[in-house]
Amino acid sequence: MMGVVTDPWPYVWAAYGATTLALGAYLVSLWVRSQPSGGTSEER
């Protein structure tokens, strides 16, 4: 049918996946950096 997008889901998943990844990775980085060692040393 003309004028209607027929295969939307791969893009929907990509956008929601990117959102989850970006926010998730940033939250993890905040958590790691706020550890007492600053997340840099091997041993606390």
44 binds another protein (CB under 8 A): no
- Residue 4 to residues 1, 8, 11, 15: CA-CA distances in angstroms? 6, 10, 15, 19
Least separation in angstroms between CB 30 and another protein? 5
d(CA 18, CA 42): 30
28 binds another protein (CB under 8 A): no
Copy the structure tokens of residue 26.
């940033």
- Binders of another protein among residues 7 to 26 (CB under 8 A) are 7-9, 11-12, 14-16, 18-20, 22-23, 26
In one letter, which amino acid is 11?
A: Y
Give the binding site for another protein (CB under 8 A): 2-9, 11-12, 14-16, 18-20, 22-23, 26-27, 30-31, 33-34, 38
